[in-house]
Structure 1
Amino acid sequence: MRLLPLSALVSTALVSTSLVLAAQAHAAPGTVIDNANGYTLVAGDRLVRFASLAFDANGRIVAVGTAREVAAKAPGFTHVDVGGKTVLPGLVDAHGHVFGLGEIATGVELYSATSLDGAVKAVAGFAGANPQRGWVVGNGWNQETWKLGRFPTAKELDAAVADRPALMRRVDGHAAWVNSRALALAGITKETRDPAGGKIERDAQGNATGILVDAAMDLVNRVLPRPTEAESRAALDGALAMLKGMGLTSVHDAGIGVGADRLYRAYADAGKLTTRVYAMIGDTAADFDQLAVKGPLKSYANDLYALSSVKLFADGALGSRGAALIQPYSDAPHTHGLLFYDDAAMRARMAKAMKAGYQVNVHAIGDAGNRQILDGYAALLKQYPAAGLRHRIEHAQVVAPADIPRFAQLDIIPSMQPTHATSDHNMAEQRVGKARIAGAYAWRTFLKQGSRIACGSDFPIESPNPFQGMHAAVTRQDMQGRPAQGWYREQAMTVKEALRCFTLDAAYAARQEDVLGSLEPGKWADFIVTDRDLFAVPPAEIGRIGVLETWVGGRQVFKR
C-alpha cells in the first residue's frame, strides 16, 4: 500500500486535535478511563484484557484492571467513559523519516502515478502551478508499476519541465530521476565517474540518462537548496499531525542531523512534540561529531525525545537494484547491486559509534549487505561489548538463510517493515529468484528462533498507518487483498505478534520497554482508542481500523 496524498491526511488530523480532556485530567489527581475493551501485552508475552485504566496527573499509569480494582487505587480521579470502545497501547513505528513525511506535502506527489505519462503530466501540472519555485521536487515514482521494463529518462522529464532543475525521488528513496537542467547544474557529464556506493545510469554511448542510484544522488543533492527553518517547521508540524491521527505515540526517526535535533528539543520544550521521537544520528560524519560531544541522550523532556543511536547504510534498495546481493540479480545478471563501503570503511563507522556508546542501526537490504554488517558486528562486539545497546539491522529484507541464525547468536535486532513485503511481492522474486526468496521478508523464521522484530513502515516510502502494517504482517496481502492466498503465507505473524512488534518489541529496540510499549503501572499513559476490535475483526479488515483518540503521557493529543 503506497502512501496516500499527505495533504488529505494532514487536514483530517489537524482538525481533530482536542486538549479538553487533558485539562480535566490535570485538574484532578489523575484520570480513569472506564468502560474500555482494553488489551495490552505484558511480560511473559501474555495478552491481558482490562476494563479500566488509571493514570496520575503526571501521565504515569497507576492501575490497570477491572473497574472496581482500578477505582480503589484512584480515589478522586476524573472518570472518562469510552463507551466500550477498544483501547490499545500507543503504537510505535520503529523506522520512519519524520521530516521526509512532512516534506512530501510541498512537492510533486507521484505515489499514485500509474504510468510514465501520468507522472509526466503530474510534474508538468505542479511546475505550472508553482512558477516561483527554483527547483521542482517530487517523490514516489515506481517504474515497476508503470510496466516500463526500464527507468524513465531526463528527456522524458524535460517534457514536463525544462526551464528549471527537477528532481523526482523513487518510491524507495534510493534513486532519483532528474531532468537535463539538474544534470547540468550538478556537472554530470559523460566523463563523470560513478561515486563509491552509487551508479549513474547511462545510455549505449555512456551519457547519463537521468537516473542516479544511491550515492550518485549526492551529486545533485549538493546543489539542491536546503530547506529553510520555516519549511522544516512546517514539515514537522504536518508530520506530527498525521502521526498522532494514526495512533503512533512513538516513532524511531532513521537518520537526523543537527537541525532536526534542535527542532525536536524545541518542540519537546514547548509541549508541541505530540509523538515521542527516538532519533538516530545520520552517519558518523560532521553532524555526529557535533551531536555526540556530550554522549548519547537517553531521555529528554519526560521521554519525549532521545538521541542515542546512529543510522548507517550498507547498501541500496531492491527496486532500483541497489541492494547488494552475494550472487547477481536474477533479472539482471550483469549486476550484484552496490555495497556503499568496503568492509574496513564500514567497520570504521560502526566502531566510531560503538566506542562513543551509541546503538548502531544499519540499513541492509540485500543478502550481501546483511552479511557484511553481521560480519562487522561479529568482529566489533568482541572489541566493544554491546552493554545492552541492542544493535540493529534496519530492514533485514533479503538475508541468506544461513545468516538468519546469526541475528540471534549475536543478539542483533531485525528492524523490519511488513508493508515492504506486500509492496514488493510484484518484483522481489524476479530480482532474487526462487531460492533466495526463502530468506526474504522471513518474519516467521526470525520469530521462531526467538528474535524480537521491531516493526515499522519506513514512511514516507510506505504509509505510516500502523494498522496497515499489522494487516500486512498477518495476511501477507496488500490492502487490495493481493495476492489472494497471501504471499508466502507461511511467514505471516499472528495478530498478537503483529501487535507486539508495533508496541513492546519496537520499544525494546529503543531500550524503552520499561516506560513504553504496554499499559502497566509505572509506564507512561500512551494509549489509543479505536473504532474496531483488533482481535475481533476479520484479518482482511485490520488495515481499516480507525483511531478515535490518541493519548501521550496522559494528554489527549488527538480526537476524531
Structure 2
Amino acid sequence: MSIKKILFQTFILCLIAWSCSNPKNESATMLIYGGTIYTVDSLKTVEAVATKDNKIVFAGSLEDAQAFKTNETELVDLQGKTMTPGLIEGHGHFMGLGYNELNLDLINTTSYQAIIDAVAERVKTAKPGEWITGRGWHQSKWDSMPAETVLGFQTHHLLSAVSPDNPVYLRHASGHAGFANEKAMEIAGLINLSIDGVKDYKVEGGEVLVDASGKPTGVFNERAQTLITQHIPERTQETDIKAFELAVKACHENGITSFHDAGIPRETIELYNNMKAEGKMTTRIYAMLTGWDEDLLNEWFEKGIMVDDDNLFTIRSVKLNCDGALGSRGAWLLEPYTDRPGHFGHETLPMEFVKETALNGLKYGFQVCSHAIGDRANREILDRYELALNDIPDATTDHRFRIEHAQHLHPDDIPRFAELKVIPAMQAVHMSSDRPWAIDRLGEKRIKEGAYMWQTLLQSGVPIVNGTDVPVEPINPIASFYASVSRKTLKGTPEGGYEPDQKMTREQALKSYTLDAAYGAFEEDIKGSITVGKLADFTIYDQDLMTVEENKILDTEVVMTIFDGKVVYESKK
C-alpha cells in the first residue's frame, strides 16, 4: 500500500473519530463543568454541559466535552457546586410578584400590630388621600390575635386610627380576601352599612364581614373585594414596567427561568409583548388568560393559541377561579367548616361556565386551568371536565387540563385525575404554611384522607406541577422543595413531618419543578431537562439538594442562574 494511500486512510479515520465525538462539528459558546450536574433525564448526572447560543449541544463526560471547546468558549467552572435544569415556577402571579416589591409586603408579619406599624410608617411619606395598598397578612399565622375579632378576623378600628386621611386596602396572603380601613370604606359608600339589623351582608360569590351592629369590620371575602378595589386608582404604565423588572430580577435571584402566570388580563398581555420587543423578557412566561374576562376568552378562542417561536411568551391556556382560599374560609367544601359550622365556603364562578370553557378549550386547543382548593370545588370541576371530554371525545387526546392547587380532595376523587388525565398543579409550600392551622378548618379525618395528597397522586400516574403561588408565598423554590420532601413547616416541625406517607422523594420534587412543570405547559420537548437540543436554562446551587441532610436543605442558596445560554444572575457572596 502506498504511503499516499495510508495517509489518506489515516485522515479518514481521524475525521470519523472527530465526527463521532462531535457529530455536528459544533463549537460551544459556553462549557459548564466542575460540579454535580443533574440532568433530570435518563442520564441522571453528567460531568459537563456544552451550549451553543441558547441550546444545549452536549451533556456527558468532561473528556468528550473538550471537542466542543474553542478559544471563544466561555468556561463556567462550578467549583464543586450543583447544577440542575432551570427551575420552573408552576403557578404564580408575575405582576403580583413585582407589585409586592413596590407596595407594602406583609408576608412576614406575625401580628395585627405589625400591620398597623407598617401602615403607620407608610403614612408618613404618603400624600393625604393617596391609597396605601399591600398584601401578605394571614391571621392564622400570627403569634396572637387582637382582643377584638369577628369570625376569626381582626377589625379595622386600630388600622383606621393610624391612617385617617389615607384609604388603605391590604390583600390577604391568599388574595382571596382583603382588609380595608374606614377611609377606604367611606370612599366605597360602605362605612355606615347596616340593613335593618341584618348581621351579614353578602355579595354573590363573597361576603362582607360585619360586627354585631351590622357595620363592616373591614374584611371583604372573595368577590366582595370588588366593592373596594373598584375605587383603587388603576396602575400606571410606569409602575407596571417597574413591577415587571422587579419580578424578572426576583426570578433570576431564585433560579427561576420559566414562570406559569396564573391569569392575566389584556393589559398585561400588551405589557408583556412590549417587554419582549424591548428585550426585557428574560424569564420565559407561559400565560393563562383570566377567566374573569369572557370577551377576552372569546377573542382568543377565535384567534387561536400563541406559541412563541422565541420561547419567551406563550398563550395557550385559560385560568378559571372557582372557589376561595382555606385561610379566609372561602374554599368550597362538601361538608361545613369544622371551625365555622354551617359555612361551606364559596363557589366563585358558575360551574356551567367551567363546562362551557372546557368545551371551548377542547374545540380551540386551549388548556383549561381551574383554581380549586376545597374538596367540593375539585369534584365539581372534575365533573365538568368529564362532561366536556365525553361531549367531544375526538378532541381529548392531549388536552392536559389542570386543576390549580388541588389541595383538599375527597378520597373518591383522587383517582379521577389520572383517569381523566388532569394535571394537579400543587404548591408544596402551602402545606408547610397552612397545615398547622388547616386541621382547625377541616378536622383530622379530612386532613389525613385528602389533604396535600402528593404521593398518592403521583403513584396514580399523574405528574405534579410544583411552585409557590407567589405572592401568596415567597417565590423561593428551596422552601417548596423542602416542604415537598419533608412535609414540615419551615421551622422544621413536626418531627417526621405531617402525614409522612405523602412526602415526595427528592427525585420527584426536582422533577416537579423541572420536567413535570414543563409537561404541564406542553413544553417538555424544549425545557425541563439537560438534554441535547433543549434550551440552555440552568440553576446552580451552593450545595447538593439531592444529598444534603434534610435539616440543611433550607440553607441552600442559588448562586447562579443561566437563561438562554447567558449568565443573568451571579451571587456576590
Superposed pair shares fold, TM > 0.5: yes
Deviation at 1:293, TM superposition (A): 4.6
Code of the residue aligned with 2:194 in structure 1: it is K
- Matched ranges for 1:94-105 at <5 A: 94-105=90-101
State the alpha-carbon separation in 1 of the partners of residues 262 and 206 from structure 2: 20
State the alpha-carbon separation in 2 of the partners of residues 141 and 549 from structure 1: 31
State the alpha-carbon separation in 1 of the partners of residues 500 and 43 from structure 2: 24
Structure 2 counterpart of 1:504: 515
Higher RCO structure, 1 or 2 (CA under 8 Å, sep 6+): 1
Structure 2 counterpart of 1:395: 405
Q: Say yes or no: does 1:41 pair with 2:40.
A: yes
Deviation at 1:152, TM superposition (A): 1.4
State the alpha-carbon separation in 1 of the partners of residues 55 and 114 from structure 2: 50
Code of the residue aligned with 2:369 in structure 1: it is N
Q: Say yes or no: does 1:453 pair with 2:453.
A: no
Deviation at 1:350, TM superposition (A): 3.4
Structure 2 counterpart of 1:285: 294
State the alpha-carbon separation in 2 of the partners of residues 47 and 171 from structure 1: 40
State the alpha-carbon separation in 2 of the partners of residues 325 and 459 from structure 1: 24
Q: Say yes or no: does 1:30 pair with 2:17.
A: no
Structure 1 counterpart of 2:396: 386
Uncovered stretches (5+) of structure 2, i.e. residues with no partner: 1-25
Deviation at 1:96, TM superposition (A): 0.5
Secondary structure of the structure 1 residue equivalent to 2:303: coil
State the alpha-carbon separation in 2 of the partners of residues 209 and 266 from structure 1: 41
Deviation at 1:87, TM superposition (A): 1.4
Structure 2 counterpart of 1:303: 311
Deviation at 1:139, TM superposition (A): 1.0
Listed one character per residue, the Cα deviations across residues 116-153 of structure 1 (whole Å, up to 9, x for unaligned) are 22221221111122226621111111111333262111
Listed one character per residue, the Cα deviations across residues 390-449 of structure 1 (whole Å, up to 9, x for unaligned) are 010000000001100000000000000000001001211111111111210111111111
- Matched ranges for 1:173-184 at <5 A: 173-184=175-186
Secondary structure of the structure 2 residue equivalent to 1:259: helix
State the alpha-carbon separation in 2 of the partners of residues 555 and 444 from structure 1: 36
State the alpha-carbon separation in 2 of the partners of residues 75 and 119 from structure 1: 57
Listed one character per residue, the Cα deviations across residues 322-376 of structure 1 (whole Å, up to 9, x for unaligned) are 0000000011112011111343233234334443321000000000110110001
Code of the residue aligned with 1:70 in structure 2: it is A
Bigger-Rg structure (1/2): 2
With over 3 angstroms needed to count, the CA separation of the structure-2 counterparts of 1:289 and 1:187, relative to structure 1, is farther
Aligned mate of 2:275, from 267, 288, 292: 267
State the alpha-carbon separation in 1 of the partners of residues 202 and 414 from structure 2: 32
- Matched ranges for 1:14-25 at <5 A: none
Structure 1 counterpart of 2:344: 336
State the alpha-carbon separation in 2 of the partners of residues 323 and 475 from structure 1: 25
Q: Say yes or no: does 1:140 pair with 2:136.
A: yes
Secondary structure of the structure 2 residue equivalent to 1:426: helix
Structure 2 counterpart of 1:317: 325
Listed one character per residue, the Cα deviations across residues 245-290 of structure 1 (whole Å, up to 9, x for unaligned) are 1100101000111121122222223321121110111115233344
Structure 1 counterpart of 2:48: 52
Structure 1 counterpart of 2:21: none
Code of the residue aligned with 2:138 in structure 1: it is N
- TM-score norm. by structure 1 comes to 0.91
Code of the residue aligned with 1:162 in structure 2: it is P
Structure 2 counterpart of 1:4: none
With over 3 angstroms needed to count, the CA separation of the structure-2 counterparts of 1:95 and 1:193, relative to structure 1, is same
State the alpha-carbon separation in 2 of the partners of residues 387 and 429 from structure 1: 38
Deviation at 1:227, TM superposition (A): 0.5
Kept in 1, the 8 Å contact 2:128–2:165? The answer is no
Q: Give percent identity, aligned residues only.
A: 37
Which is further off, 415-424 or 281-290? 281-290
Listed one character per residue, the Cα deviations across residues 457-513 of structure 1 (whole Å, up to 9, x for unaligned) are 000111111111101101111222122331111111111111000000000000000
Code of the residue aligned with 2:103 in structure 1: it is G
Code of the residue aligned with 2:441 in structure 1: it is R
Kept in 2, the 8 Å contact 1:456–1:469? The answer is yes
Kept in 2, the 8 Å contact 1:469–1:543? The answer is no
Kept in 2, the 8 Å contact 1:62–1:74? The answer is no
- Matched ranges for 1:69-468 at <5 A: 69-72=64-67, 78-80=73-75, 81-131=77-127, 134-146=130-142, 147-148=144-145, 150-188=152-190, 189-191=193-195, 194-283=202-291, 284-300=293-309, 302-384=310-392, 385-437=395-447, 438-468=449-479
With over 3 angstroms needed to count, the CA separation of the structure-2 counterparts of 1:508 and 1:196, relative to structure 1, is same
Structure 2 counterpart of 1:5: none
Secondary structure of the structure 2 residue equivalent to 1:163: coil
State the alpha-carbon separation in 1 of the partners of residues 260 and 89 from structure 2: 6
State the alpha-carbon separation in 1 of the partners of residues 189 and 27 from structure 2: 64
Kept in 1, the 8 Å contact 2:39–2:45? The answer is yes
Kept in 2, the 8 Å contact 1:196–1:341? The answer is no
With over 3 angstroms needed to count, the CA separation of the structure-2 counterparts of 1:108 and 1:183, relative to structure 1, is same
State the alpha-carbon separation in 1 of the partners of residues 320 and 230 from structure 2: 19
- TM-score norm. by structure 2 comes to 0.89
State the alpha-carbon separation in 2 of the partners of residues 383 and 218 from structure 1: 35
State the alpha-carbon separation in 1 of the partners of residues 210 and 128 from structure 2: 32
State the alpha-carbon separation in 2 of the partners of residues 419 and 555 from structure 1: 29
Uncovered stretches (5+) of structure 1, i.e. residues with no partner: 1-26
Number of equivalenced pairs: 529
Listed one character per residue, the Cα deviations across residues 40-99 of structure 1 (whole Å, up to 9, x for unaligned) are 111xxx461111101112x11111000122223566661512323211110011000111
Kept in 1, the 8 Å contact 2:301–2:360? The answer is no
Structure 2 counterpart of 1:553: 564
Listed one character per residue, the Cα deviations across residues 193-241 of structure 1 (whole Å, up to 9, x for unaligned) are 5222111112223322211101111111111111101000000111110
Structure 2 counterpart of 1:19: none
State the alpha-carbon separation in 2 of the partners of residues 124 and 509 from structure 1: 43
State the alpha-carbon separation in 2 of the partners of residues 334 and 347 from structure 1: 28
Secondary structure of the structure 1 residue equivalent to 2:455: helix
State the alpha-carbon separation in 2 of the partners of residues 545 and 130 from structure 1: 38
Aligned mate of 2:56, from 40, 57, 61: 61
Kept in 2, the 8 Å contact 1:363–1:393? The answer is yes
Structure 2 counterpart of 1:13: none
State the alpha-carbon separation in 2 of the partners of residues 367 and 428 from structure 1: 13
Code of the residue aligned with 1:39 in structure 2: it is Y
